[in-house]
Chain A
């Protein structure tokens, strides 16, 4: 029982990070129908910026408390990621807004490669490491342990998701974004500045990516220029799992994917009687994805949108 609880905690932490990244994919898809492959790289850049700032601060002899260093990292990463998200949309996607669907998709891949190489030039090829910011405290719940850092990660993720839902459903900007998502032309005719709404989706998505990047790098203490690819892929899977274009779906998909991964790695051995070991842990997540795509092609919470794509 305590093992199950522990795996759930592991999965929940991982899942909240996936969920934050998945939100970025799903917001952009919801509003302009584009799968923004560069999103994983925005997470990576957020992680690297935060890492560099935190490394500098821990290296200096001022002796700042860990929480403050964390705050400095995040305050540096968010504006940088937002600036990147905004300019990528403006430079690479806006001119193609009325082009055939394939064009912006390929552009997105191009942007992803450009950002990855940019990071390579700036930070080099080596793994960057972060010394632990503070001595983690272990809390024991029913035989399972959770660190204070994990609690911070899960709570922050939940807060950000709640904030996003409020923003999208309760504010004028949110209404404008939803209207743009429903029908860009009509929204424009109704006096909504669709450029602002779309830019807002990119800015918010990139801000969430910065926070997610920060979480990954403080949780694992490691960052490198290729870390965005796999994370982006997993988050995209999560978004599809939940129903891409649907905010609640991305959150559900992210958390589910994290938990499926943790349980998969934990129980694949006993379940298959030792035939498959934990080296097959990733197949669980993808089995679930394939299953969902076959049975519910629009994802768990996705609506059937006939003419998208």
Chain B
């Protein structure tokens, strides 16, 4: 009896490990762009990484669609770079939103000699992978990783095309205490680089405005049961509960909150600001508020056209498809500007680029962050995400400097 239990536990551990290892074999193999390269052209590979399986596969697919459309658009133009006709090929990989897998996939892309990387989706995967791309001298543009650390590492190869979580946390925190007049705020984070980072920034801002953080509870990005931590939070009777995490965990959390009779407002950052959240949360979603690290589509200069084209080809936009589209397009624009697909030659062009994308003007500061980003707050009304307000990050930061 004793032995069989010990043996069983060992075997379970073995299954666990094998389960971790075996997942990706089928879908991660490189998918090339739809059409074949025209004869005589030079093939330029661009890597794209996002979780294409698991809880947030819908967001990964959304990002991939953005990149795919950008590549198709570029190929349709028939660009000539360095005197040669070029044909761009998207090499899409799945990192399962897992940091370890992300580094493996990153190395695989480096070995495949891609000219540039679009991604990853999560901050927790983007940050560890960025070191590998930096060492290989390959530029990386993320259209969705918002954790500030990503661009604070001093890597000349790391860029992002939307605002970061210092800015997002600031806007969210001020909204919670200023607009919603919350005095008691409870924080939940999912322990990922993104969730923990954003929750920390929100907590900092909330505290600086004089409100109380009554509880800070933890969960993980694969959990389904939140009742225990929510019961604790309920005992503190907060006005607002902020969750640093994604839609796949946030929606069940909101449902369970309401089942426990918690009436506090529920808020999340960009990871939970998706149509998928509304689908998952059902009726409980009404009145839910969240933010995105960018402009709403109807305020983007030419995004409406982009949106129609993307949705005609793929699925409705979830979150960051326009940003990934821009990330891909700006990478290609830098290659054109430098007249080279050699990363060493076109990184300087990328650093100084000024590009009109569908999400707005794209210029990078010396860290690789976008120069003028936006944070937009949304509220779910009648099952739709509706814009509450949009704020330029430079204005938000200026306001802080003034008050300090």
Contacts and interface: CB of A to CB of B under 8 A. Distances in A.
B255 A132 contact: yes
Interface in A256-309: 261-266, 269, 277-279, 281, 293, 297-298, 302, 304-305, 308-309
Given A127-B248, A129-B279, A129-B280, A7 B231 contact: yes
Given A125-B53, A309-B4, A281 B234 contact: no
Given A269-B232, A279-B191, A221 B255 contact: yes
Interface string B213-232: 00011111000110111011
Interface string B138-168: 0000000000000000000000000000000
A140 B12 contact: no
Contacts of A297: 1-2, 5
A136 B228 contact: no
Interface string B253-266: 00100011100000
A229 interface: yes
B252 interface: yes
B3 A221 contact: no
A13 B55 CA distance: 24
Interface in A69-111: 101-102, 105-106, 109
Nearest to A279: B218
A243 B154 CA distance: 56
Contacts of A152: none
B224 A220 contact: yes
A33 B261 CA distance: 45
A305 to B, nearest CB: 6
Contact of A266 (B58, B220, B232): B232
Interface string B51-80: 011110110000000000000000000000
B14 interface: yes
Given A125-B53, A145-B259, A297-B2, A278 B252 contact: no
28 contacts: A3-B231, A7-B228, A7-B231, A10-B227, A10-B231, A37-B11, A105-B11, A106-B11, A125-B27, A126-B53, A127-B248, A131-B282, A138-B261, A145-B261, A147-B259, A220-B225, A221-B252, A221-B280, A221-B282, A222-B252, A224-B55, A226-B19, A236-B8, A262-B228, A262-B231, A277-B216, A278-B229, A309-B3
Interface of B: 1-5, 7-8, 11-12, 14-16, 18-19, 22, 27, 52-55, 57-58, 191, 216-220, 224-225, 227-229, 231-232, 234-235, 248, 252, 255, 259-261, 279-280, 282-283
